[in-house]
Structure 1
Amino acid sequence: MVQKEEMRQVCRRFMDSVSREISGGPAAEETVFGTCQTLATLEQPEAQEALTALSRVIARQAAGKDAPEVLRFYLDSQFGAGESEETDLLEAKLAALCGGDGAEAADSAASGAETGSAPKISVIITTYNRKPFLRQAVESILAQDYPNKEIVVIDDASTDGTELMMEESFGDEPRVIYMRNDTNRGPGANRLAAFTAHGDGEYILFLDDDDYLIDSGYFSRAVAFHRSHPGLSFVAANVFLEYSATQRLQLQEIGLSDVTDRRAYFLNFERPGYGKPASTLTTLFRREALIEMDILHMNMVNDASIYLRSLLVGDAGFIDAAVGVYRIHGNNITFNLSRDFLVRNLEEKRTIRNLAIERYNYKKKEMTGWFNNTAYDTIVYYLRNSAKTKEDYTYMYEWTHSNCPEIYAKVKQEFRTRLIKKQILQVPLIRKLIGR
């Protein structure tokens, strides 16, 4: 296994080689990527996977897609090489390749926001017992170069000192509003409460407390995109998935068109070719669209439902830039769903189906198929990631049989073996024999 310091030296040597190879005029993203991959094969086998991932980040930088600070963030977090002579040289060579377009575009958008009337962005952060993550999330928003922003933190009765941290760190920050519940109400209810109380910006961003932004110019770019494409429901971008157990970053590229048709995206949401952005950490929703899609009466204000309702009233916009980090650490809410949470989620999607038919002229037959598909995906996700006991499985089988009989047999067949295994593992002697 390559040790940390050795990996840092490998990275610096690799960057030096890349800088010497890419000297010259503009080059296509895939050309740069190919060059980097070739150089990666010259390094020791244990380092090649990490260098191939770095090659994609470098190639995107050469194409002007990502801000320079994103490359430095990646180099620092993955290799400890964010500040080095090789990094400075590589950054200069990449800027020459893309002509500085990416940075200039961001600077132009920021300048326009400062000199004109910048519409307000309201950022709503729900939190519960994650004060170190929360601090980073808030700071990443305050670091945005966009001038007119306000952060609303709603604390779901944390017991880890979150209230004290917020007072000490942001008590004198006028752009940060802190709300606190006396009892735990759940993230969906908190998003709605914060939106109702303080979500008066022209654009709204819902941020989970364990995610954060890494491109300080993103808000400026997203607002400029909204202004150049009036009527979009939302604008989103790419992220890095951070696997906290290993600290490994994986680039998630949405791969959708700059402007994606609402109907096509709605009907195929989360199906091949129509992936969902990671959470809502990069997504600037137009507030008028949220009101039109009836956010104030949502049963479940979670990310999938917000996206689906938004697509009923407007197209989606995407910026091909990596701008944030979505943490995957085993304690994510989406890996620890309760049965009640899941059923409320499914009931919300059934409401969305009815809205599509009654208000937006979708056909009943196609929406029945749509609901069965989305219900199947939701139920399967729960049974794979969150179901713990026989009662969890039985409850979901009964709910599916009553509400989605068309998919009942398929769901039950898929998880029959898994349920049997869980039941066997509940026997103490068997668990002892296999060492679990």
Structure 2
Amino acid sequence: MRKSDISVIIPTYKRVNFLVQAIDSVLDENGVDVDVLVIDDDPESAELGEVLSSRYQEKVRYHQNPQNLGPGDSRAYGLTHTSSNFVVFMDDDDFYTNPSAFQEALQVLQKHPDIAFVGFSTRNFKESNQRKTTVNSYSLLGVVDATSYLNKFGRDIAKPASTFSSVFRRSSLEKAGIGEVKMLNDTVIYLRALTAGNAYLSATVVGNYRIHDSNISKSLSEDFIIQNLDEKAAIQKRLPFVNVLERQIWLYRQTWMSIRYYIWNHPGEPYLKIRRWAGSQTGLTSLLLRLRIFQTIHKIRGENLP
């Protein structure tokens, strides 16, 4: 493995055109030595390997999974097959527009050894009309205390729109037990990182978060949601909060975000696995989740009545 300033890990599946734009934007970053590793989750086609070899030669490393593993396992493979001190997890449909992003990130990470990641701002980019829309920004800027961020994550303090807009310190991810994670998605990566260090949030816009019909978030399964809930329960055990009720309320808030999203996007399902998961939790977590699930299902049914 080549030791560079930053390792950029890009899982991909049958989106060659998006991927090429993503890679080009990484290689356009100024003054930083990057190690780009593409993990191809399509085991049946040799097309992508040929395209990357022809276009980038040795500038980009390529691995083809022997079977379809999904983006989480592909990110995990990338993490174990790179060695740089700083890491970016990039989706194949996002791209950078600021060639100084990595330089700025390294400066901040070197100045603040206590931070686990630098999170930049992004713009939403609608693929349908090629238009940039809203800027995804933060209510707090600069160094943000990890305990405060964890307590307000996704509510008073926004989660970065994706992971490509952040540069992570590898040692912090390792301290946070990233190697034991079974489903390495963006929320889990951020929450894990915050159990091992503070964050630095910047108003600098570094790139575009692409919105299109095949975004993965539009087709999540109930099993995927259960895995996500399990990971958040595992993170709860690493929280710096001492108070038991505070920890239970934290888990309720974080898991309800995932459950609510799934229920509203899959109306009419029985949600049996989600209900069982909620019932298996303890104390306030279980009570509040079961109540909110019941209320939300009945609200949806009421709105869908003729």
The offset of 1:159, in angstroms, is 5.5
Note if 1:366 corresponds to 2:246.
yes
Q: Structure 2 matches for 1:3-22, cutoff 5 A?
A: none
Secondary structure of 2:237's aligned partner: helix
Paired residues for 1:235-384 under 5 Å: 235-250=118-133, 251-272=135-156, 274-356=157-239, 360=240, 362-384=242-264
Letter in 1 for 2:244: K
| Other-structure match for 1:232 | 115
Q: CA offset at residue 420 of structure 1?
A: 6.9
Match of 1:162 in 2: 48
Deviation at 1:415, TM superposition (A): 2.3
One-letter identity of the residue aligned with 1:407: L
User: What secondary structure is seen at the aligned counterpart in 2 of 1:345?
Assistant: helix
Separation in 2 of the partners of 1:383 and 1:179? 36
Distance 2:267 2:294 in 1: 16
Alpha-carbon shift at residue 284 of structure 1 (Å): 0.5
Q: Secondary structure at the match of 1:383?
A: helix
3-state SS of paired residue (1:355) = coil
Q: Any unmatched runs of 5+ in structure 2?
A: none
The Cα of 1:337 is off from its aligned counterpart by 0.8
Identity of aligned residues (%): 31
Q: Which amino acid aligns with 1:214?
A: T
Structure with more relative contact order (C-alpha pairs < 8 Å, separation 6 or more): 2
Q: 1:249 to 1:362 in 2, by over 3 A?
A: farther
The aligned amino acid for 2:277 is: W
User: 19, 32, 35: which is aligned to 1:134?
Assistant: 19
Q: d(CA) in 2 for partners of 1:280 and 1:253?
A: 14
**Corresponding residue SS for 1:194:** helix
* Higher-helix-fraction structure: 1
Task: Provide the rounded CA distance (Å) in 1 between the counterparts of 2:154 and 2:190.
Answer: 11
1:389 Cα deviation (Å)? 5.3
Residue aligning to 2:64:
180
Query: What amino acid is the match of 2:262?
Result: Y
- State the AA in 1 paired with 2:289: I
Cα shift at 1:361: 5.3
Over residues 395-423 of structure 1, what are the superposed CA-to-partner deviations in whole Å (9 max), with x where a residue is unaligned? Answer: 3233323332332122221122435777x
277, 287, 290: which is aligned to 1:405? Answer: 287
Number of residue pairs the alignment of both structures matches: 298
Structure 1 residues without counterparts, runs of 5 or longer: 1-117, 425-429, 431-436
How far apart are the structure 2 equivalents of 1:368 and 1:328? 34
Q: Using the alignment, how far apart are the partners of 1:330 and 1:382 within structure 2?
A: 17
Alpha-carbon separation, structure 2, partners of 1:165 and 1:228: 39
**Residues in 2 aligned to 1:233 and 1:305: alpha-carbon distance in whole angstroms:** 14
Any idea what SS the aligned residue of 1:233 has? strand
Which structure is higher in strand share?
A: 2
Judge conservation of contact 2:127–2:210 (CA < 8 Å) in 1.
yes
Q: Which letter maps to 1:197? A: H
Q: CA deviation at 1:309?
A: 1.1
TM-score for both structures, normalised by structure 1: 0.65
Moved more, 365-374 or 409-418: 409-418
Q: For residue 119 of structure 1, report the CA deviation from its aligned partner.
A: 6.1
Q: Residue 397 of structure 1 contacts residue 412 of structure 1 at CA under 8 Å; is this kept in 2?
A: no
Q: Which moved more, 1:150-159 or 1:336-345?
A: 150-159
Q: Secondary structure at the match of 2:232?
A: helix
